[in-house]
Amino acid sequence: MIKIRGLTKRYGDFDALKGIDLDVAPGEFLVVLGPSGAGKSTLLRCINRLCEPTQGDIHVDGQRVTAERASLRRARRQVAMIFQHYNVVPRLSVLKNVLTGRLGAMPSVASWLQVFPRRDIEIARECLRRVELEEKAELRTDTLSGGQKQRVGIARALAQQPKIILADEPVASLDPKTSRTVLQYLKQASRELGISVVCNLHQIEYAREFGERIVGVSGGRIVFEGGPDQLTDEVLHRIYPGLDEGTAKAASPARAAATPPRHDFALEEA
């Protein structure tokens, strides 16, 4: 579904991404794990060209994504995004926020006038049902909690009927219980609808719990690729250079449940 080859992103003389090769399968839930500044957001933003790669090729659903208008339009229809700070419009209703996910599929006149065809409203309501917020459809979005706003963010992404969802630290602003609920909604939708998800996370525990495959990024390179059960102490040290022994042990599978975290990027506070 996504094929990335030799992706490099340079800011001035700083290489944020250094030759990334990565494949994402249809329907796969891939977690990208790594410390702050590793290049996770840059990687996601290069996939839908919010950020222009310096070098390398990205294919989405078999088509090369380029800066050319038609290519960008096609890619952006297929790729939806979920943001850390939700990016909802506070004064709009929940339903209207979800309907903005339909704008790319609508004729321009209808989208300028914000006149939504009945079919689009049905799609938006169905997406709200998936995140169990249908009864909040008519409320202003600023009356919702953080977790509910992120569920609106998920519904809006689903309303786009994408093949891929890129989620950039979607639970970084939420408490642990809400984070798990939000990730469960996202994973369930991915599974039921066959949508590939690339989800940037800071928390090792969530990566292990939700990732079907995990990619560890450090210093702009992929330093690990494997299943959640392969996330050993040695691998954690590779992803988080300088990680202290106690935290690595706390995050290792056998001890994760029993040992409290010491870094916010390592484990949630229970």
Ligand X SMILES: Nc1ncnc2c1ncn2[C@@H]1O[C@H](COP(=O)(O)OP(=O)(O)OP(=O)(O)O)[C@@H](O)[C@H]1O
Q: Is 36 in the site for ligand X (CB under 6 A)?
A: yes
Q: If you ran DSSP here, which 8-state letter would residue 18 be given?
A: E
**Chosen residue from 4, 22, 29, 34 binding ligand X by CB under 6 A:** 34
Q: Is 41 helix (H, G, I), strand (E, B) or coil?
A: helix
Shortest reach from residue 34's CB to ligand X, in Å = 5
Question: In this chain, which stretch among 40-48, 72-80, 105-113, 137-145 interacts with ligand X, using CB under 6 A?
Answer: 40-48
* Residues facing 22 on adjacent strands: 4
Nearer to ligand X, 39 or 101 (CB): 39
Q: Is 38 in the site for ligand X (CB under 6 A)?
A: yes
d(CA 204, CA 195): 23
Q: Is 11 in the site for ligand X (CB under 6 A)?
A: yes
Q: Is 112 in the site for ligand X (CB under 6 A)?
A: no
Sheet containing strand 63-64, strands side by side: 14-24, 2-11, 55-60, 63-64
Q: Is 48 in the site for ligand X (CB under 6 A)?
A: no
d(CA 267, CA 251): 7
Name the burial class of residue 78, with classes exposed (0-12), middle (13-18) and buried (19+) by CB atoms within 10 angstroms of its CB.
Answer: buried
# binding residues, ligand X (CB under 6 A): 10
Nearer to ligand X, 151 or 202 (CB): 202
**CA nearest 222: which of 9, 23, 18?**
18
**CA nearest 198: which of 213, 188, 209?**
213
Q: Is 241 in the site for ligand X (CB under 6 A)?
A: no
Q: Is 42 in the site for ligand X (CB under 6 A)?
A: yes
Tokens representing 120 are 């689009």
Q: Is 216 in the site for ligand X (CB under 6 A)?
A: no
Outline where the chain has alpha helix (H). 40-47, 69-78, 94-99, 108-113, 118-130, 146-159, 176-193, 204-210, 233-239, 245-251
- Cβ(160)–Cβ(127) below 8 Å: no
Q: How close are the terminal C-alpha atoms of the chain, in Å?
A: 36
Q: Is 39 in the site for ligand X (CB under 6 A)?
A: yes
Q: Is 153 in the site for ligand X (CB under 6 A)?
A: no
The CB density around residue 139, as the number of other CB atoms within 10 Å, is 14
**Chosen residue from 22, 28, 31, 40 binding ligand X by CB under 6 A:** 40
Q: Is 16 in the site for ligand X (CB under 6 A)?
A: yes
Q: Is 198 in the site for ligand X (CB under 6 A)?
A: no
Nearer to ligand X, 24 or 123 (CB): 24
Nearer to ligand X, 74 or 221 (CB): 221
Q: Is 136 in the site for ligand X (CB under 6 A)?
A: no
Question: In this chain, which stretch among 33-41, 70-78, 206-214, 237-245 interacts with ligand X, using CB under 6 A?
Answer: 33-41
Binding site for ligand X (CB under 6 A): 11, 16, 34, 36-42
